[in-house]
Structure 1
Amino acid sequence: MTDADSVFDRALAAIEKVKKDFGELDGVVSFSEMAQPLVARLIEKLGLPGNSSAAVDSARDKHATRRCMSEAGLPTPRNFLITREDELDAASQLVGYPAVIKPIHGAASLGVVRVDDHEALLRAYARVRREMGSVRVHSGIVEQMASDDEGEGNFTTTLMMEEYLDGPEVDVDVVFSEGQAVYGAVTDNWPTLEPYFNETGSNSPSILPSAQQRELLELGVASVKALGFDMGVFHVECKYTSRGPRLIEVNCRMGGGPVRNMNLLVWGVDLVEEQLLLAAGIPSRPPVAPAPLTHLAEFSVNAQRSGVLADVSFLDKYDVMKDVLYVRPLVEAGAKVTCVEDGMPTWVCEIMVQHPTSTQAAIDYVNQIEAAIQKEMPIEARKAK
């Protein structure tokens, strides 16, 4: 029996020990994407507050999410579950182009690729299957192993194909309590690095027209309900397309990266606090600021060329600039980095800035800092072995 096979029993035994040592538990919670199915099954076993494992499984499975959306009468992109390579022709015929192939389970855009014709689909399918073979789950995080890492990946998943969605992408962060949405906020995501959909940046509050924001919020709430959830913090990814709002996916936990800080600093809502309250069975009624408390922009800086990052200390001077909340390296000095022309791009560092009154001013400022960092970034050519 592997660790994955025995994790439920080991977690249950650990909980029983905690109960013996400290008394009854009020709840079980995790902020890790990969842990959500385990959490749901533990709370079902223990009779604690939470959502059903069926709802969590439907959210974790992107193809099942599409089915739930369709059954609820919500707009759903054309899609096809690919279980074998000989189904690619049928998928191509049904979905059409441009399209996206993606794992039905995953995280951080790993294995998500845009394809514009059938030949591109065949190439991308082979590449994604190969790349997903080098993906592993380590400490609850899905990560791509370097080509020279020892060992094999431990992450397996089926792929699906669905129509490409045009338009700006957003995050809709939602808090549900007692079956109703008690908080919702829209954060604008900036254009991703295609064909891999690597994230680049975001801003809060949204600068989309208020009518579009309302439609996106309504779709986010309806999507959470369609999957069968009635409590918790959700990170819902959507696009406002030429045909209106469309769902990308529902994450049944708080979003990662800057999400907690953006909601807390802009709207005064701590998503961690709300999730902990809900997990303990306490209804959530977050106090939401009537107007933005500040205006934020953040940039996940991707490598613009491949090689070895020689140093990260050059970032220090940017971290102390006025209205910069942080500049943090995401890789260590000496790490290999990849640009989009050579594969899935590497995030080198992350930046967050604020402006007291203007989201656009924050966006302009963080873009200026990113441009300066790119000029100075010491990426050296890899030495041939």
Structure 2
Amino acid sequence: MSSEKIVAFVEPSFYGVSFVRAAYEQGFKIIAIVSSDENPVKYGYEGIYHDLIIADIRDEDALFEAITNSEYHNKLDALIPATDYASHLTAKVAQRLGLKGVPYEAALKSRNKDLAREAYAAHDVPSAKFKKVKTYEEAALAAEEIRYPIVLKPTNASSSQNVFFINSSTELKQAMAEIIGFKETYMNFKVREEYLIEEYLDGQEFSVELFLQDGNPIFSTVTEKTTSPLPYFVEIVHTLPTSVYSERGEDIINTAVSALRAIGLINGPSHVEIKLTDDGPRIIEVNGRPGGDNISSDLLIQALGFDIFKATVSYYLDLPIDIHINHNRAASVAYLIADKDGTVSNIRGLEHIDNHENVIRSHFSVQLGDQISVPKSSDDRLGYVITVGSTPIEARESAVALIRNIELIYT
């Protein structure tokens, strides 16, 4: 070990696996706090951690007691959330242990979209009109006030799970029946029985990848997004940096920073989703962590050479933060999705992908015999290809063309 620093991660998964890898490669001792000893294999970080602590990550006291009853009590140098769902609980436990972390109230607001919207309104951050509702009757009144089309979404889920684009009271009634039945999300976290009716924001979608120090960005870049056709909001292409509206970049970044300040996320990494409407940038949501979906793990590194996970681990450990940009190119990820429901009998067009000069990496999970459907959430995507280019347009067009050349044959 090149350092005696002990870094604990709460339930590494999805984007959080990159946290574990970054810290492991820096030579720190890695402790994974997990709900099951099967999770390192399940989420793909077997072999890059040193010890496990088993805990109920959905319960603050259980998490705290698992740490204090372990051999690492009073020995941890950092406690880092490595899944969205436990980020507020991790913040509270870090506070109780006297470790550096995101302020609990800020983490709570970033995890709960209604609390975030309330904070934006209180600080005049351009956002969307919204109402919090529990029943169809409340939702119908809210929709009439905000005016169709509207968006219905859970207050504390992610990955576009049960997010509905709605044009009428009939559609709203059906969507409310579905969303009320959505009781549990990833890792058995409970879905709050309060929902948001929001104004539909029309415009180009972006995310802003940021690293803040005392409320000011020491790193920022804008990622262009393409989403699936309505009525769903599944992200199917990310390009970093953006190939469109680059002249609006400063305005988009400033809006993102104002949202982060409003909810109290003034230090460390963040991933802020924004739409550029006719009235200017408007906040969709804020996440107080590096962007997932291959944005931070691949696109930032391939386009700019910036490892935001390594920078974040350094932040938690009070070590110097390296924001040096090593590349000046672009990267894109495009996802394969089904254009109709059915069973896959053949897949054509995969054979030339890895030999393409722009391709960095690809991964496809779809197999012959799989039943697939038009995607309603990120979970329904079937694979991806990551490309680089000297310009954002080159990177994006390469990725999109390769995905479009894949043909799914249905029975």
Into which bin does the TM-score normalised by the smaller protein fall?
0.7 to 0.9
Tell me by how many angstroms 1:36 deviates.
0.4
The answer to whether the 8 Å contact 1:79/1:94 transfers is no
C-alpha contact 1:40 1:51 (8 A) present in aligned 2: yes
Distance, in Å, in 2 between the alignment partners of 1:222 and 1:16 is: 40
Code of the aligned partner of 1:268: G
Q: Would the alpha carbon gap of residues 5 and 98 (structure 1) be closer, same or farther in structure 2, given more than 3 Å must change?
A: closer
Shift of 1:312: 6.8
Is residue 158 from structure 1 mapped to residue 194 from structure 2 by the alignment? yes
Report how many residues are paired.
Answer: 355
Asked if residue 379 in structure 1 is aligned to residue 402 in structure 2, the reply is no
| CA–CA distance in structure 2, aligned partners of residues 12 and 211 of structure 1 | 51
Which amino acid letter does the alignment assign opposite residue 410 of structure 2?
A: I
C-alpha displacement of 1:5: 5.8
Distance verdict in 2 for CA 1:256–1:311, change over 3 Å: farther
Q: Do structure 1's residue 348 and structure 2's residue 382 form an aligned pair?
A: yes
Cα shift at 1:64: 0.9
CA–CA separation in structure 2 for the residues paired with 1:363 and 1:307: 28
Does the 8 Å CA contact 1:80/1:94 hold for their aligned counterparts? no
1:121 equivalent to 2:152? Answer: no
2:126 is paired with a residue whose SS is coil
Q: Pick one of 259, 262, 281 that aligns with 2:295.
A: 259
2:152 aligned to which of 97, 101, 126: 101
User: 1:305 maps to which residue?
Assistant: 340
Distance 1:209 1:18 in 2: 52
**How far off is 1:315 after superposition?**
3.0
The aligned counterpart of 2:305 is 268
The one-letter code sitting in structure 2 at the alignment partner of 1:183 is F
Aligned to 2:318: 281
Q: TM-score, normalised by structure 1?
A: 0.85
Q: Deviations over 1:65-102 (max 9, x none)?
A: 11101111111311110122221232012211111111
1:13 to 54, 58, 66: 66
Q: 1:334 to 1:92 in 2, by over 3 A?
A: same
Which residue, out of 206, 209, 215, partners 2:242? 206
Aligned positions of 1:1-385 closer than 5 A: 3=56, 6=59, 8-14=61-67, 16-19=69-72, 24-130=75-181, 132-133=182-183, 135-138=184-187, 155-260=191-296, 261-282=298-319, 284-289=321-326, 293-310=328-345, 315-339=350-374, 346-355=380-389, 357-373=390-406, 375=407, 377-380=408-411
Asked whether the 8 Å contact 1:312–1:329 carries over to 2, the reply is no
Closer/same/farther in 2, CA of residues 10 and 243 from structure 1, 3 Å limit: closer
**What amino acid does structure 1 have at the position aligned with 2:282?**
R
Choose 321-330 or 243-252, whichever is displaced more: 321-330
Identity %: 21
Q: With the length of structure 2 as denominator, give the TM-score of the two structures.
A: 0.80
Q: Secondary structure at 1:9's aligned position in 2?
A: helix
Question: Alignment partner of 1:190: what SS?
Answer: strand
Cα distance change on mapping 1:157 and 1:327 into 2, 3 Å: farther
Match in the other structure for 2:34: none
RMSD after superposition: 2.4
Q: Give distance in 2, aligned partners of 1:285 and 1:41.
A: 27
The 3 A distance-change label for structure 1 pair 34 and 314 is same
Aligned partner letter, 1:50: G
- List runs of 5+ in structure 1 lacking aligned partners: 143-153, 381-385
Cα displacement (A) at 1:11:
4.8
* Contact map agreement 2:56 2:63 (CA 8 A) in 1: no
Structure 1 residues 362 and 6: CA distance shift in structure 2, 3 A = closer
Please, which runs of 5 or more residues in structure 2 have no aligned partner? 1-54
Quick one: distance in 1 between partners of 2:191 and 2:125? Answer: 31
Rounded to whole Å, the distance in 2 between the matches of 1:212 and 1:246 is 13
Aligned equivalents of 1:200, 1:40: Cα separation in 2: 31
8 Å CA contact 1:100–1:114 kept in 2: the answer is: yes
Query: Does structure 1 retain, via aligned residues, the 8 Å contact 2:270–2:289?
Result: yes
Shift of 1:28: 0.6
1:4 shift after superposition: 5.8
Moved more, 205-214 or 271-280: 205-214
Q: Is 238-247 or 274-283 further displaced after alignment? A: 274-283
Q: How far off its partner does 1:211 sit? A: 3.2
CA contact (8 A) 1:186 1:213 kept: yes
